Homo-oligomer: A and B are copies of this chain.
Amino acid sequence: MTNCIQGFKDYFCRPKNTNVRLKLPFVCFAWQIAMIILFGVFVRYNNESDAHWVQNMAQNNITSAIENDFYYRYPSFQDVHVMIFVGFGFLMTFLKRYSFGGVGFNFLIAAFGIQWALLMQGWFHSLDPSTGKIYIGIENLINADFCVAGCLIAYGAVLGKVSPVQLMVMTLFGVTLYAVEEYIILNLLHVSLDAGGSMIIHVFGGYYGLAISWVLYRPNLHQSKHLQGSVYHSDTFAMIGTLFLWMFWPSFNSATTYHGDGQHRAAINTYLCLTSCVLTTVAISSLSQKTGKLDMVHIQNSTLAGGVAMGTAAVFMVSPYGALIVGFCCGILSTMGYLYISPFLEKTLKIHDTCGIHNLHAMPGVIGGIVGAITAATASESVYGMQGLINTFDFTGNFKDRTVFAQGGYQAAGMCVAMVFGIGGGAIVGAILRFPIWGDPADENCNDDDVYWEVPQDEEDQLERNVGIKGLFYDWHLSPSRLKFQNAGPV
């Protein structure tokens, strides 16, 4: 690496060793065992998932099992679960030879992150001080999925350039930072509503990833340039991810909002916002090309920006047309981001953002935060009704005297907290990830599944092999990703 500080040069610039045979299993085992111990000490079923629930029903005036929170939230939970694993996973299969890494490492870090998130969020939000236990139910599972989403967003920035061990470290710290940030925003600032996490998830996750990518900048990444694009089928695979994210985003934004009209309205707002986002994305994408052709990168990503931006205000009375306007702006801004801001980030700020998370998550998240602040500040009893206002903003307990205008200010403050945690945390974690002990790939091996995966021999490889066997008058090598003639010409 050319930008090594001289003193550390020998240490940091050793040739890369991508053998993770000891590191990866060690990390997996160590952390999984730690999880088991911590779960054993701390985690129990909550009231509604415990076998005693049935005898508590009568005491709590619950007349029917359908009142169990499970039935309010489980369908949304499963949709969110699909977004985390298939949505994020397949969205990252677009690279021509990094589909295994995209979907596979996403799977690994999400499965780990979920467990750690249950603990971290549990300590901050579900700990019963009298027993010292965390009591979990369906809402905790949703929140753990949300928390992991922040780390998967960050993965998008460094896709193809890090090792699975680095990703595990990144997720460990990411979840930790997330839980602290969430506690500050939700409990201390009482930003009661960031149901879909525009700020907590997307702003934090986006800047966290960008800061890490900035620290890990590779000036010679062009050495693996032949692997940086997509192929026809990998782009089609990525559309699976896009569509499942797009379709289930209404569930994402409504999964944890309050029962009844809260969930109902959040779903409607998100649905509308996303439809309008598709149209402006297509418009700008087409405008940007000489002959009006559409770019798959924009369709795969910018169409989702509306869901991100609706995250904070989903449950607010933004009105159907308000939701359409938010989507309208996000489609434009996000697509412009891919056209102008990403190249700028890379050239000027030296931030290489593989999936363009700045345009899909960070920027729309900021918009979402602003929309939330404005909508909160302008909320009125005539629009919400007395009880609706209390439900929506949770003006209870210590916060029952807060005005909507003050609430708007706190919403804005919450966004700053998310940004600070993202950038600051990312910079520190990035520095940790630069230590040459994590098995990250050399510049010329980036974006190549061959480094961390047993990759099957494809047709083209077979062509190579067969041609070789037949003793033809020239040798060639048609490996699927690299293609060179070694000895061309007639014998």
> What does the 1/0 interface line of A21-41 toward B look like (CB < 8 Å)?
111110011011101110110
A49 touches B295 (CB 8 A): no
Asked if A7 is at the interface (CB within 8 A of a chain B CB), the reply is: no
The residue of chain B having its C-beta at the shortest distance from the C-beta of A291 within the complex is B19
User: Cβ of A39: which chain B residues have Cβ within 8 Å of it?
Assistant: 272, 319-321, 324
The residue of chain B having its C-beta at the shortest distance from the C-beta of A323 within the complex is B39
A371 to chain B, nearest CB (A): 15
B235 touches A268 (CB 8 A): no
CA distance A205 to B283 in the complex (A): 26
B51 touches A317 (CB 8 A): yes
* Known interface pairs A28-B280, A107-B278, A324-B39; A247-B85 also in contact (CB < 8 Å): yes
A187 to chain B, nearest CB (A): 24
B49 touches A265 (CB 8 A): yes
CA distance A103 to B22 in the complex (A): 37
User: Cβ of A345: which chain B residues have Cβ within 8 Å of it?
Assistant: none
B463 touches A264 (CB 8 A): no
CA distance A455 to B296 in the complex (A): 8
Asked if A1 is at the interface (CB within 8 A of a chain B CB), the reply is: no
CA distance A108 to B454 in the complex (A): 32
Asked if A112 is at the interface (CB within 8 A of a chain B CB), the reply is: yes
B283 touches A28 (CB 8 A): yes
User: Out of B22, B70, B99, B260, which one reaches A54, CB within 8 Å?
Assistant: B260
Q: Which of A235-254 contact B (CB under 8 A)?
A: 235-237, 239-240, 243-244, 246-248, 250-251
Asked if A412 is at the interface (CB within 8 A of a chain B CB), the reply is: no
The residue of chain B having its C-beta at the shortest distance from the C-beta of A237 within the complex is B236
CA distance A45 to B322 in the complex (A): 12
User: Cβ of A23: which chain B residues have Cβ within 8 Å of it?
Assistant: 292
A385 touches B115 (CB 8 A): no
The residue of chain B having its C-beta at the shortest distance from the C-beta of A51 within the complex is B388
B36 touches A229 (CB 8 A): no
Asked if A456 is at the interface (CB within 8 A of a chain B CB), the reply is: yes
A107 touches B243 (CB 8 A): yes
Q: Which of A27-71 contact B (CB under 8 A)?
A: 28-29, 31-33, 35-37, 39-40, 43-45, 48-55, 57, 64-71
A54 touches B385 (CB 8 A): yes
A406 to chain B, nearest CB (A): 19
> What does the 1/0 interface line of A441-455 toward B look like (CB < 8 Å)?
000000000011111
Asked if A301 is at the interface (CB within 8 A of a chain B CB), the reply is: no
Binds B, one of A73-81, A150-158, A189-197, A394-402: A73-81
Asked if A459 is at the interface (CB within 8 A of a chain B CB), the reply is: yes
A243 touches B86 (CB 8 A): yes
User: Out of B33, B86, B265, B456, which one reaches A240, CB within 8 Å?
Assistant: B86
Q: A111-B278, A136-B268 are in contact. List 10 more A-B contacts (CB 8 A).
A: A21-B289, A49-B268, A99-B232, A103-B239, A104-B294, A138-B268, A240-B240, A293-B451, A294-B453, A463-B483
A selection of 18 A-B contacts at a CB cut-off of 8 Å is A32-B279, A43-B320, A48-B264, A49-B261, A51-B261, A51-B384, A55-B387, A70-B263, A82-B244, A85-B247, A99-B236, A100-B294, A112-B279, A115-B272, A136-B320, A231-B456, A459-B460, A470-B485
Q: Top 7 A-B pairs ranked by shortest CB distance?
A: A51-B388, A21-B292, A65-B260, A111-B278, A65-B259, A28-B283, A39-B321
